[in-house]
C-alpha cells in the first residue's frame, strides 16, 4: 500500500504576485475528488469575475484570512479554522485576502458522477 504525506504550511510562498494552486491528491471513482492547497498573498478575483464550478467545493482557511462573496448573497469573512461549502454552480468570487501575510486555503472539490439505473 502506497502512502503519501506532507505539510500544508511547508514552503508557503510569501509576496507571490499571483495566487498559487497546488494539487495535493486526487481520486476518481463514483465521484471525482481533488484536494488543493491555495496560497493567496492579497489577491482577489477580478472585478465582475465569478467562479461557476460544476463541482461542489469545500474550503478551509488554514492560516491568514480572506472573504468569499456569493453572487446575489452574503460575503463570508473567513479566518484560520473557518470553512465554507460551495455547492456546484454556486457563483462566487474571492472578495479579498490578507495582504500582510499569506492566506493558506485547503480546497476539496467533489464532482458527482450521474447514477446509472
- The pLDDT, as a whole number, for residue 94 is 98
Is residue 106 situated within a structural domain?
A: yes
Q: Which residues of the chain have pLDDT under 50?
A: none
- The pLDDT, as a whole number, for residue 102 is 97
Residue 107 maps to which CATH number? 2.60.120.10
User: Distance of CA 8 to CAs 31, 45, 52, 76, 94, Å?
Assistant: 24, 23, 26, 23, 20
> Which residue shows C-alpha cell 500500500?
1
Is residue 37 situated within a structural domain?
A: yes
- The pLDDT, as a whole number, for residue 4 is 83
SS3 content of the chain, % helix, strand, coil (to 5): 0, 50, 50
- The pLDDT, as a whole number, for residue 2 is 80
- The pLDDT, as a whole number, for residue 114 is 67
Domain of residue 75, residue span: 20-112
Is residue 57 situated within a structural domain?
A: yes
14, 104 Cβ separation under 8 angstroms: no
Is residue 3 situated within a structural domain?
A: no
| 51: Cα within 13 Å, side-chain hemisphere | 18
Is residue 54 situated within a structural domain?
A: yes
98, 64 Cβ separation under 8 angstroms: yes
**Which is nearest to 52 in space by CA: 21, 97, 104, 87?**
87
pTM of the model: 0.88
- The pLDDT, as a whole number, for residue 7 is 92
Question: Domain total for the chain?
Answer: 1
Q: What sign does the dihedral 52-20-22-80 (CA atoms) show?
A: negative
Is residue 34 situated within a structural domain?
A: yes
- The pLDDT, as a whole number, for residue 116 is 62
Q: In the numeric block, which cell numbers belong to residue 60?
A: 478551509
Is residue 27 situated within a structural domain?
A: yes
Is residue 40 situated within a structural domain?
A: yes
Amino acid at each position: 500500500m502506497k502512502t503519501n504525506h506532507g505539510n500544508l504550511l511547508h514552503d508557503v510562498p510569501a509576496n507571490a504576485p499571483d495566487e498559487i494552486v497546488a494539487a495535493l491528491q486526487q481520486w476518481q471513482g463514483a465521484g471525482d475528488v481533488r484536494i488543493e492547497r491555495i496560497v493567496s498573498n492579497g489577491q482577489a478575483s477580478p472585478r465582475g469575475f465569478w467562479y461557476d464550478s460544476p463541482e461542489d467545493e469545500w474550503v478551509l482557511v488554514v492560516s491568514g484570512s480572506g472573504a468569499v462573496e456569493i453572487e446575489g448573497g452574503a460575503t463570508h469573512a473567513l479566518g484560520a479554522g473557518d470553512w465554507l461549502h460551495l455547492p456546484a454552480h454556486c457563483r462566487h468570487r474571492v472578495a479579498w485576502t490578507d495582504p500582510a501575510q499569506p492566506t493558506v486555503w485547503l480546497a476539496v472539490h467533489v464532482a458527482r458522477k450521474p447514477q446509472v439505473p
